[in-house]
Amino acid sequence: MRIVVCIKQVPDTTEVRLDPKTNTLIRDGVPSIINPDDKAGIEAALLLKEKVEGSMVMVVCMGPPQADIALREALAMGCDDAILLTDKAFGGSDTWATASIIASALKKLEFDVIITGRQAIDGDTAQVGPQIAEHLGIPQVSYAEKIEVKEDKLVIWRQFEDRYHIIKVGMPCLITALSELAKPRYMSTGGIVDAYHTKKVRTWSYEDVRNTLDTANMGLKGSPTRVTKSFTKEAKGTGVVLKDITEDEAVAAMMAKLKEKHII
Amino acid sequence: MIGFTLSKEQILQRQLFREFAEQEIKPIASQMDEEEKFSMVLLKKLQKYGMMGIPYDKKYGGAGSDILTYALCIEELSKIDGSTGVTVSVHTSLCCSCINDFANETQKEKYLHPLVESSKTGCFGLTEPGAGTDASGQKTTAVLDGDFYLLNGQKVFTTNSGFADIFIIFALTNPSKGTRGISAFIVERGTPGMEVSKDIPRMGIRAASNAEIALIDARVHKDNLIGTEGLGYKIAMSALAGGRIGIGAQAVGIAQGAIDEAVKYVKERKQFGKRISQFQNTQFKLAELQTKVDAARLMVWRAAVTKDNHENFAVAAAMCKYYASEVANDVTRACVQLLGGYGYTREYPVERMHRDAKITEIYEGTSEAMKMIISGSMKIN
């Protein structure tokens, strides 16, 4: 099985602080990490590789040259091959342009399964994975919390709020992974040595994907998203929690509260 | 290392060590200290992720990395738990290096391979009740009897001995020759005639195993002699010189761990209507401590890079061990003070760090022994 995992390097948002005066993010000194859902995707891919003999895992990342370290980390975890999509022309891409560029690279590769994370912790759009599938014209299953191999198909547990769907899908297909899908393994010291000395990160620029990519779909100019305004959410109070009451009592309590605030 | 910057590979290695220490060691460090027992589950994990064979060749199952990376590992582990730091350090720098640097290919395949590929653990038995800093006062003997040496004597303060599989034991094959009569042997756990006592209760690094070894006609095959007869003292001194880089890194780690805890605490603790981090006394004290730790770290890195470059590193290693261990003691004491009464309790890890720091001035050569090496290199007398 040929598995491709698409990853993003993101600022570790648990380390990001707000400047109390300007209400903007302080990005200085914030470490960059592999997006957590994507890392779970890497682990899921490595588990599939261990299950299906003769498999290989390739990892693809679009980003600045510094994203090399994210790919080395994936190689050190056990991925076999890595491609860094980097070009100034790709800068400023929104989810549409990003998915177009990544899909243009994937069109040049052989694959049975593509795994992406559900969403990135810096943008939280959850759009790039599904958009890649649309660009490639392959089936997609999002919010995967479990993947099994059944003969030549995959069976995927797709998470819903109060249940999950069990979906059987043919290959090639694209899966978006939840963090719950798999707890990522650590790198190993020997794996890191291999990641820098025996394995390679191939760098692809616009030139390498030009015949599969429409320039109208890349970079800032190819991005239909426009940010009109950004603002900091005001913190709300903790609210009132009513415990150990019946449904009728809950309804009565809510009605009383709404009336008290003159909402109804 | 180029200049004072780690390579990208070393930065990624440090990220691994940091994540591992935070997630796998931090939750159990205090408990291991209280129970005075090293977790065998943790040992297996250290082995699994390649932390027990960092600077050794992939040919033998090692990570194929360098001494500086090994020092980064010991620092990161020791930031969270000094006991884990010394367990990895003794295994790597003392036991494995004797075999890697002096043993023959057959011995390396048989013993180094499982040690660095991570299925076995090693220890190093040089110190005796009457032979500490003066290692030449060895009393343990080895007498050849057919194909076997019969070892008789006693070793103390042998780190890792409680669970180690492979012991490097030093013994006199020719007592009349003094240090030139000392030889080094690879002894497997379970060898008839070798008994390992219970761990010796200690002030710090209480989770690390540290026991006495009694040798009564312990039969060791002559194939397990490392190098030739009489080479033992040279092997021991060489291993200890490298080991000091590990202990220097351990001391830096303990000190940095204490600073990290103190910084976290002073940002939260309020007295006189302010967070104590707002007092300049706190800020200046932490600035002093961090400067000392950075200086010690640079000395450890210099010694490590010197060894990686195959240059003579003995003096640089002695200096880094001497300085870093004194810094670790000063810094941990000051950090307990910054936490005040809470720092003295077992609710916070700084008291453990303070206790753990003391031994770094003693083992693998006391501060006084380090000064002998350093002053010796200065051609003063």
Per-residue pLDDT, A23: 65
Lowest mean pLDDT: which of B133-142, B282-291, B312-321, B337-346? B133-142
Per-residue pLDDT, B228: 97
Per-residue pLDDT, A24: 66
Q: Which of A177, A197, A104, A62 is closest to A70 using CA atoms?
A: A62
B19/A188 Cβ within 8 A:
no
Q: Using CA atoms, how far apart are residues A105 and A217, in angstroms rounded to an integer?
A: 13
pLDDT band for position A25 (cuts 50, 70, 90): low
Per-residue pLDDT, A14: 79
Average pLDDT (B163-185) is: 96
**Considering only alpha carbons, which residue of chain B is nearest residue A32?**
B15
Arithmetic mean of pLDDT over chain B: 96
The tens digit of pLDDT for each residue in B273-285 reads: 999 999 999 999 9
Q: Which residues of chain A make contact with B20, given a CB cutoff of 8 A? A: 186
So which residues of B are the catalytic ones? Answer: 364
B48/A189 Cβ within 8 A:
no
A195 vs B: CB within 8 A = yes
Q: Using CA atoms, how far apart are residues A179 and A187, in angstroms rounded to an integer?
A: 17
Per-residue pLDDT, A105: 97
State the nearest Cα–Cα gap between B164 and chain A, in angstroms.
Answer: 22
Kind plus residue range of the DSSP H or E element containing B157: strand B148-159
Residue A55 pLDDT greater than 80, yes or no: yes
Q: Which of A188, A196, A197 sits opposite B50 (nearest CB)?
A: A188
The tens digit of pLDDT for each residue in A84-139 reads: 999 999 998 899 999 999 999 999 999 999 999 999 988 888 999 999 999 999 99
ipTM for the whole complex:
0.91
Q: Which of B16, B64, B65 sits opposite A187 (nearest CB)?
A: B16
Kind plus residue range of the DSSP H or E element containing B29: helix B26-35
Per-residue pLDDT, A29: 78
SS3 B50: coil
B19/A69 Cβ within 8 A:
no
Residue B87 pLDDT greater than 70, yes or no: yes
Taking each helix axis as running N to C, give the angle between helix B67-80 and helix B280-308, from 0 to 180 degrees, rounded to the nearest 10. 150
Q: What is the 3-state secondary structure (H, E, C) of chain A?
A: CEEEEEECEEECCCCCEECCCCCCEECCCCCEEECHHHHHHHHHHHHHHHHCCCCEEEEEEECCHHHHHHHHHHHHHCCCEEEEECCHHHCCCCHHHHHHHHHHHHCCCCCCEEEEECCCCCCCCCCHHHHHHHHHCCCEEEEEEEEEEECCEEEEEEECCCCEEEEEECCCEEEEECHHHCCCCCCCHHHHHHHHHCCCEEEECHHHHHHHCCHHHCCCCCCCCCCCCCCCCCCCCCCCCCCCCCHHHHHHHHHHHHHHCCCC
Q: What is the pTM of this model?
A: 0.91
Per-residue pLDDT, B1: 56
B62/A190 Cβ within 8 A:
yes
pLDDT band for position A30 (cuts 50, 70, 90): confident
